[in-house]
Structure 1
Amino acid sequence: MLVFIRKRAFASLISLVLLIVAVFFLSRLTGDPAALYLPSEASEEMRQQFREVHGLNDPIMVQFGRYIWDLLHLDMGESIRKARPAFDVVIESFWWTLQLAVITMSLVTAAAIVIGSLAAFRAGGFFDRVASVTSLIGASAPDFWVAIVGIVVFAVGLGWVPTSGTGSVWHWILPVAVLFIRPFGLIVQVVRGSMITALSSAYVKTARAKGVKSRPIIFVHALRNAMLPVITVIGDQAAALLNGAVIVETIFGFPGVGKLMIDSILQRDFNVVLAAIMVTAIAIFLMNLLIDLAYSLLDPRIRH
């Protein structure tokens, strides 16, 4: 098991290093922060002083070397815009995204497993057809379109929920509902297909022949063996949410890490961009490691 974990951790570390290198150099292509933060009438001397203070006057390779050195000492630099450590700025926003992702994926996973399993148990029946059509529509619906329709109908038209913010439970309803739809549709389809295969296997037929009730057959015997592809999709969808749910957070003015990344790119706050991507990447790598461990527990052959 330890060898298995080390291999996964080493692969994740290589990916993280490559990501840091790519983002560092690509972020510099967005332009000169001095042109954005200083007034148009600022003198060249003032611009040079601004660049000197923020370490932007040095050659790009010198800047990169200094950033890596600071990073090895757990220093991600300072936010130009907020004059605070970039890591602190990112953690504040990441906490909001993490809450949103955990709430959404908890609801999605519970609902999708139950509905997909019941649909597979009565494959071809009325409930199966309704669940299949509903999940296909949900999996195909663009998040930005659902978000805009939700605001127009439920926030502006009916006035049931606020359009943006995080001040109360009501502010969370639309973002969670919008982020719920697509992963729910995808996971229901995967659970249904995987459960149909599991329910047609010999051990399930034997359990039915012995008179085992339907609930243990679905949720004990068949579900565990059907979970490997389901865990893959759940992990992918959770990673997408952890990655910021950028569009939804921007539309609803949700102060998550996705919105922070977009704002920081537009404002050329390089250190915050790098810190946001790094924190998000580490969270995703850790989650993928947990998924790999879940694989190995469900199917020990995967360890080898």
Structure 2
Amino acid sequence: MPQYASRIISSFFSLALLLVLVFFLSRLTGDPAALFLPVDATPEMLNQFRELHGLNDPIIVQFGRYVWDVLHLDFGDSLRQARPAIDIVLQAFVWTLWLAITTIVLVSIAAIVIGSLAAFRPGGIFDRLVSLVSLIGASAPDFWIAVVGITVFAIGLGWLPTSGTGTVWHWILPIAVLFIRPFGLLLQVVRGSMVQAFGSAYVKTARAKGVGNRSIIFVHTLRNAMLPVITVIGDQAAAMLNGAVVVETIFGFPGVGKLMIDSILTRDFNVILAAILVTALAIFIMNLLIDLAYALLDPRIRT
């Protein structure tokens, strides 16, 4: 428990520092009144807008008011949509969460199965092919894969839509783009961890007893090789929550990443801060779940 308490305390301070930095940096992006009002707006109209939203107050006063509101779980209203900022963020975060969960589950299953089979006979043809695929996948940038996918499968062949979320077909390209890079990274980790586990004494003993290959791979070896794999799965899941901005923007996916970009461009301060807090909390919770998974896989960690 002391480990988890220290993790919670350190995460709280990191989150507080993040919110302070984002608050002050977002104020450097410009005056939202000049963006929201028409170009022919009079100085009186601009001043009235700033007064209405408390933008004429000193920056320290605005910050103090913001901290007080956040402590009461109040992020204010969106300047653009005139709705509670937290409602807008949570609505978008659900889309990002579904996209991330679906992708990381598919990545984990595929990488664990293929990486385990490749590690069973290291140096073979299948192992070499898997190593090549993992290297290419881990090196490919998301934005390039997205552009190629749209060019080939949406524009060239006309098989898939370029944006939206209306049907299952709309999800294929975003998931495929998010899938490739973490799949390549996780495949390398699974293979390396399983190769090391296959050389251990308990595997040799199981083989000497005549245990089948399937049981050796998925019963005796996989659990002992899962600790580094769990770490990478957690890191990649957090990266998907925090880094799906490019994919969501390219495909017009209504997630929290695209919402953040739109809010930055329109200087919707309340939505920006709410989106960052929700995303940071999700990553913090995910890190705690990874720690719990460690304890389940290795009883020594519990003490």
The answer on whether the counterparts of 1:244 and 1:256 sit within 8 Å (CA) in structure 2 is: no
Displacement of 1:5 = 2.6
SS in 2 for 1:21: helix
CA distance in 2, matches of 1:98, 1:294: 20
CA distance in 2, matches of 1:199, 1:16: 41
The answer on whether the counterparts of 1:194 and 1:226 sit within 8 Å (CA) in structure 2 is: yes
Match of 2:172 in 1: 173
Q: CA, structure 1 residues 28+133, in 2 after alignment: closer, same or farther (shift >3 Å)?
A: same
Letter matched to residue 25 of structure 1 = F
Q: How does 1:213-232 map to 2 (within 5 A)?
A: 213-232=212-231
Match of 1:16 in 2: 15
Q: How does 1:91-170 map to 2 (within 5 A)?
A: 91-170=90-169
The answer on whether the counterparts of 1:97 and 1:244 sit within 8 Å (CA) in structure 2 is: no
Displacement of 1:41 = 1.7
Match of 1:267 in 2: 266
Match of 2:287 in 1: 288
The answer on whether the counterparts of 1:4 and 1:303 sit within 8 Å (CA) in structure 2 is: no
Deviations 1:232-262 (A, max 9, x none): 1111110011115000110000010000000
Displacement of 1:125 = 0.6
Match of 2:48 in 1: 49
Deviations 1:150-190 (A, max 9, x none): 00100011010101100101000100111110000000000
Match of 2:61 in 1: 62
SS in 2 for 1:134: helix
Letter matched to residue 110 of structure 1 = I
CA distance in 1, matches of 2:3, 2:292: 9
Letter matched to residue 28 of structure 1 = R
SS in 1 for 2:161: coil
CA distance in 2, matches of 1:286, 1:300: 21
Deviations 1:79-108 (A, max 9, x none): 000000000000111010001001111100
Letter matched to residue 256 of structure 2 = V
Match of 2:277 in 1: 278
CA distance in 2, matches of 1:204, 1:59: 67
Of stretches 36-45 and 165-174 in structure 1, the one that deviates more from structure 2 is 36-45
Alignment TM-score, normalising by the size of structure 2: 0.98
Match of 1:237 in 2: 236
Q: CA, structure 1 residues 90+244, in 2 after alignment: closer, same or farther (shift >3 Å)?
A: farther
CA distance in 1, matches of 2:22, 2:170: 33
Aligned length: 303
CA distance in 2, matches of 1:302, 1:268: 46
Displacement of 1:66 = 0.3
Q: Percent identity?
A: 76
CA distance in 2, matches of 1:294, 1:223: 14
Runs of 4+ aligned structure 1 residues displaced above 4 Å come to none
Displacement of 1:7 = 2.2
Letter matched to residue 66 of structure 1 = R
Match of 1:33 in 2: 32
Letter matched to residue 67 of structure 1 = Y
CA distance in 2, matches of 1:220, 1:10: 37
CA distance in 2, matches of 1:269, 1:244: 20
Alignment TM-score, normalising by the size of structure 1: 0.98
Letter matched to residue 208 of structure 2 = A
SS in 1 for 2:8: helix
Deviations 1:102-141 (A, max 9, x none): 1111100000000000000011111101111011111111
Q: Mind listing any 5+ residue stretches in structure 1 that lack a counterpart?
A: none
Deviations 1:26-69 (A, max 9, x none): 11110010110111221212111101111111111110100010
Match of 1:250 in 2: 249
SS in 2 for 1:243: helix
The answer on whether the counterparts of 1:244 and 1:259 sit within 8 Å (CA) in structure 2 is: no
Q: Aligned pair 1:71/2:33, yes or no? A: no
